[in-house]
Amino acid sequence: MTVAQDFVTIVIPFTDDTAWSPLRMADVERVLYRLGNPAEVDIAKRLDGTGIIHFLSINVIAPEREGTAPHLLIEATVDGAAQDAVPAIAEALGDALLPALRIVTGVTDADAVPDLLRHHASSITSNPLRLPRQVIGLPFCGTPGVSVAAIRDNQRVVDAARDLIARECLRQPSADAQALLGHVAANLPSPEQAIVCQPQPELAFVDRPDAPWRDPALTSWGLATFWRIACYHRLLLLALLGVPYALLVALLRSGGAGLGTAFAAALVPALIAAGAVVGLFVWLLRRDELANTPIDTTPDPHAIAAMLARENEPGVVQNHMISVTRLRPAAIRRLSLSVAFKAVATLIGTQLMRPGFLSSIGTIHAARWVVLPGTRQLVFLSNFDGSWESYLEDFIKKASEGVSAVWSNAIGFPATRLLFMGGAADGDRMKRFARNSMQPTAFWYSAYPGLTCGAIRKHAMIVSGLRHAARMAPVPADAQAWLDLIGAVPRPAEALQYAEIQAIAFGGLRHHPRSRMIALDFGAPQATDVGNGHPYAHVQRWLADLHAHDLILFGDRPVPSLVANIAFSAAGLARLGLDAEVDGAAQGFPGVFASGMVSDGRRRALGDPEALQWSDASVHAVLLLYARPPADSSDAGADLAAKTAFDAEVARAEHFGLAVRASLDTGLTTFDAAKFAKDWRNSALPDTAAAPNKDDGADDQDNADGLTVEPFGFVDGVSQPQVRGFPGRNGAGDPIHAVEPGEFILGYTDNLGFYPPSPLVTRSLASIGMAPEVLLDAPAAHQPTSFCDFTGEVEPARDFGRNGSYLVIRQLDQDVAAFNQQLTDKADALARQHAVGNPHPGNLHRTREWIAAKLVGRWRDGSPLIEHPIQPVLDGGQTALASNGFALGSSDPQGQRCPFGAHIRRAFPRDSLSPGDPLGLAVTNRHRILRRGRPYRDAEGNPAGTLFMCLNADIERQFEFVQQTWIGSPTFHGLEGERDPFTMHVGTTPIAPGGDRLTIPGPAGGCVIDGLARHVTVRGGGYFFLPGRRALRFLGGQPWAEAQRNTPSAAPASAA
């Protein structure tokens, strides 16, 4: 049923070539108008009956000039060869068309119509010279290979499938994509089943693995692209280069030169000759471009009204347009027009564009450019989806070069440069030109007026999926993509699968201020579990139980009062069956994760102490629990409720045989903006107390929503990467903070456009009751795209890492009292001096706060030193949230506001390392981390430190790089012997005899604060993996599957 589409072009000149031909044109147009646009029901039925006509339009083209004839132009897009379709068109339309043909040619007999149409039918060639029965032009098909019959059949199948799915979802709400696909494949009614069973060649537009348009090397216009084009046009190149070369060789040979000499000597002249030809072409073209005067006139409103009266028919999602222009008189335009046609045809022919797409425009069903024979009239006809306005905007934004290349050969087109540049890029004038050249389409027929190109492709893919249902059954992502097609559109590769990603990736759960981290040890394999094949089945049962109680939160639903996220260490994953992937598999986990945070190499890089209280070496999983206080509860009541809930989860873990190795109660503390402001104001010296403070006075404002404080008293979590695709404002572009999701979530492209390496499972785990081949998706590169290919071979490797992330946890003990005392001591010394850049000499409190701000790069309320170097904003932290888009390098290249060694400049230097250079920003953005840490408390409930947590896709490139190269480097940014004075911890990195120091540059030389002690100590931590939903289900093994079978309604629907 799949056939090639062809283009019928019938151009019939009027017998009346006098000045009075417009009268007969009007007569013909009246006849055509009666046939309809879209076609009248009876006419449409007749054309439907042919079963091969996709689109057909009939128009009258006015004479090029007085004394020449008008033309009747019949154009159709058909299945099969065009010449075979002409009789069908004649049979279907003969009677209806006869009154028009009578006026055009005088024919009165319907029997003569087929011969008449056949006689005037032409094929389309893009060559500058045409043969008889050819017209110069360029056809374009938007749904290649899909026949009219297939389009209609596919729609029937899709309708039936939708009906089956709707009923099955009512019956079985928890049915997942794989189940629904199987249900539809097995239960289609017989007629639709027969359609599905018909053999079909592959769909041209789907993303086959070897599709050229997916090859970045080709689509980026490198050498590979040009080589491919050269191969495509080898005969043409041979003619252009080879023939002159051969002639020169022959000439030299005839002059007595030897064969070798002739070959060598002819090369350069041949190239020069070819270059001269090209140069001549360019010169002539450019000369004519400069001679062109763009016609920039407002389209006639009456003409526009006439066109609009025949566009946007209610119930029809397509439109048709016809434009008639006249080629410029210069002879070179015949050649340049063919060059333009060839250029576009080459992009289509070499499949550098997806078949059916013009550039990235996928809304064109069928279009063609043709030059009417014997005239210089260039006619453009197109059948497209949506409105004319959107269609032209697509051209302007996505394919202006191609449009310019063709249309600039016409009189009055907006000015172009070298055929391709300019022109249509001037969108408004291009549209005026287009409207001025258009006329209402007299008659237009569409075989499927209610279907867009997208719907046609989607239907074809759905049927293809059903045809290959057996192949797709064990591939979750493919089945999901198929189901997505039924519902709306397939998930684009870059679209995040929120439902598959644990919720902590999307935010810090600030509405759940009480939290606890539980570090768990799986314990020894349990002998009683050997029977089911998995030595840690007790862990799997625990996981299944967590799932059954719907405790693990993913990013797809409202957050309940008690939620958990879970991550596993390398040792934990090894115990759960991924031992090979952790230890040595070619596509397994990276070494940094496998070796863990406390291995010698990592410890040295991070400057960590010799021993930790707990680490990933002994902890197999961490359970992160978060609780929202009950409504109207007191702090004490909320604490108690949270503790009860957390303790219950501890008990649950212990019930399944797991042991708690560490437990930290964490929680958020709101920044006390009012107190901070009050202290600042009260600290004013007598002689400055009355001085107006333009930023002051906001001290009674509420704390900005979401600002929490870390134990040293600074607002925390202000500056985070803005991840494209994350919910909320994170989806917006941000020149400083925008990063790609692949920087944090495996399975998506990173800032460089590549998929980060992800741990794969390439072996069977059936012996321990685990089924990666069914439960895990294919690697990212093999994920179904928006144009899914359901026919290819199934990739055997399964991606465990997809939708997961590496979680770094570090328990950082903070000596708050010592930190504050150090600040006081340093301020006491500095406040006495007047020439060190301190703007608050003599004011101990403010000097103290100024030093604290210099350590961090922000004031305690989060307002950045870059923008507020003298004093904090005191607006409740709102500035901190709203004003985080500053650049460091270009705003403060000498560090006079925010010192080079300040914490925020080290943690994320922005453009500091190469001021003003976007590349520099791109480099630093390769080292971003998503921070999700919280302060933790001691046994008495006092802030004791920070449980630092961050997500990243590459621990070495991101967390470790930041820690080692920026935070902990003594030579960061050209400094000497300085480390992050705020967060650098006590460990193996040497401290200068006098202590660490901070250089505070200033206009008068600034100052150096030395003798700084470290007040942060690493107590524990490790590298963990935060799995996606499918990976977690996979780890749960048979117990999870059994739990799901037993409680089907509890299983969350696996919707993207």
Partner 1 sequence: MTTADAIAKAVTALAADGAPPLQRAPELEMKNAPSVRVFVAAHHAAINAILCDEERFSLRHYDELLAQVAGPTRYLVGENDDARKLRLRLLHAAQGHVDAVRRPAAVPNDPLPPNLALGYRDFIATIARDEASRILKVLAVRGQTGSPVNFAREYAFLLAYRMARRVVGVSGPDKAPLLVWLMIAYRNWTQAGPKVSLKGEAGTATTMLALLHPLFGHVFGTVVKSTAVMRAITANTARHALASFDLALDKPHLAPPQSLLAGLHAVRGQFPEVSDEHYRVQSRSVLFELAGALVLIVGKSLGEIAGFAVSPQGHAAGIDWPGLVERLAVDDPTRTSHDAVINEMLRLGSSSQLVRTVRNDCTWQGVALNAGDRVLLHIDQASHDPAAFAQPERFAPAPDRPYITSGPLQGPHVCYGRAIAWTIMREAIVATRGQIDPVKGASLSAFLALPDNLAFTAA
For residue 328, the minimal CB distance to partner 1 (Å) is 22
Closer to partner 1 at the Cβ: 32 or 475? 32
In the complex with partner 1, the residue whose CB is nearer, 24 or 737, is: 24
Report which of 344, 352, 346 is spatially closest to residue 395, judged by C-alpha positions: 344
Residue 18 beta carbon to partner 1: minimum distance, rounded to whole angstroms: 3
CB of 102 to partner 1, least distance (A): 5
User: Between 17 and 734, whose beta carbon lies closer to partner 1?
Assistant: 17
d(Cα 58, Cα 465) in Å, to the nearest integer? 38
Report in angstroms how near the CB of residue 72 gets to partner 1 at its nearest. Answer: 15
Nearest distance in Å: CB 305, partner 1: 16
For residues 30 and 234, which CB has a smaller minimum distance to partner 1 in the complex? 30
Task: Compute the least distance from the CB of residue 66 to partner 1, in Å.
Answer: 7
Contact 483, 472 (CB under 8 A): no
CB nearer to partner 1: pick between 24 and 575 = 24
Q: How far is the CB of 24 from partner 1 (least distance, A)?
A: 5
For residue 108, the minimal CB distance to partner 1 (Å) is 6
In whole angstroms, what is the distance from residue 517 CA to residue 704 CA?
27
Nearer to partner 1, 102 or 681 (CB): 102
Residue 751 · residue 740 · CB < 8 Å = yes
As a whole number of angstroms, the distance between CA 887 and CA 958 comes to 20
Whole-angstrom Cα distance, residue 141 to residue 138? 10
d(CA 442, CA 58) in angstroms, rounded, equals 6
- Closer to partner 1 by CB, 17 or 215: give it: 17
Instruction: State in angstroms the smallest separation of the CB of 104 from partner 1.
Output: 11
Q: Whose CA is closest to 565, among 579, 576, 554?
A: 554
Give the shortest CB-103-to-partner 1 separation in angstroms: 8
Nearest approach in angstroms of CB 115 to partner 1 is 18
Return the closest-CA partner of residue 97 out of 28, 41, 10, 44.
28
Indicate the residue among 22 and 269 with the shorter CB distance to partner 1: 22
Contacts with partner 1 by CB under 8 A lie at: 15-24, 26-27, 30, 34, 66, 95, 98-99, 102-103, 106, 108
Are 92 and 48 in contact, with CB atoms under 8 Å apart?
A: no
Closest CA to 58 of 94, 95, 97, 87: 97
| Cis bond before residue 38 (omega within 30° of 0) | yes
Spell out where 486-582 has E strands: 514-521, 562-568
Strand positions, DSSP E, 768-804: 798-799
Q: How far apart are CA 226 and CA 245, in angstroms?
A: 22
Is 64 or 743 the residue whose CB approaches partner 1 more closely? Answer: 64
Distance of CA 1019 to the CA centre of its chain: 40
CB of 99 to partner 1, least distance (A): 5
CA–CA separation, 332 and 409 (whole Å): 9
Q: Please, which residue, 106 or 222, has the CB nearer to partner 1?
A: 106
Q: Which of 381, 440, 313, 442 is nearest to 36 (CA)?
A: 442
Q: Can you tell me the distance from the alpha carbon of 289 to that of 877, in angstroms, rounded to the nearest whole number?
A: 59
Q: Which is nearer to partner 1, 40 or 556 (CB)?
A: 40
Between 22 and 1011, whose beta carbon lies closer to partner 1?
Answer: 22
| Polymer length of the chain | 1056
- The C-alpha atoms of residue 592 and residue 611 are separated, in whole angstroms, by 18
Cβ contacts of 54 within 8 Å, gap of 6 or more: 5, 76, 77, 78, 79, 143, 148, 365, 366, 383, 446, 447, 448
Which is closer to partner 1, CB of 326 or CB of 937?
326
Q: Which residue from 900, 808, 394 is spatially nearest to 598, judged by alpha carbons?
A: 808
Nearer to partner 1, 30 or 604 (CB): 30
The CB-of-430 to partner 1 minimum distance in angstroms stands at: 28
The answer to whether 784 and 791 are in contact (CB under 8 A) is no
102 or 429: CB nearest partner 1:
102
Smallest distance, Å, CB 169 to partner 1?
48
Q: Cβ of residue 214: shortest distance to partner 1, in angstroms?
A: 54
Tell how far CA 1000 is from the center of its chain.
42
Residue 15 CB, shortest distance to partner 1, in Å, is 8
Of the pair 106, 216, the CB lying nearest partner 1 is at 106
What does the DSSP 8-state code read for residue 960?
Answer: I
**Which stretches within 175-322 are classed as H helix?**
177-187, 190-197, 216-219, 223-232, 234-237, 243-254, 259-291, 301-308
**Least distance between partner 1 and beta carbon 385 (Å):** 33
**Residue 34, token pair as written in the block:** 């009666």
Whole-angstrom Cα Rg for the chain: 36
Q: Describe the chain by its helix, strand, coil percentages, rounded to 5.
A: 40, 15, 40
Q: Which residues, in sequence order, are bridge partners of residue 322?
A: 381, 439
**Minimum CB distance to partner 1 smaller for 21 or for 480:** 21
Q: Using CA atoms, how far apart are residues 515 and 222, in angstroms rounded to an integer?
A: 53
Cβ partners under 8 Å of residue 239, min gap 6: none
The minimum distance between CB 14 and partner 1, in angstroms, equals 9
- Going 28 to 34 to 40 to 43, the CA torsion angle's sign is negative
5-13 and 416-417: which strand pairing?
Answer: unpaired
Contact call for residues 378 and 138 (beta carbons, < 8 A): no
Rounded CA separation 400/119 (Å): 36
* Amino acid of residue 140: F
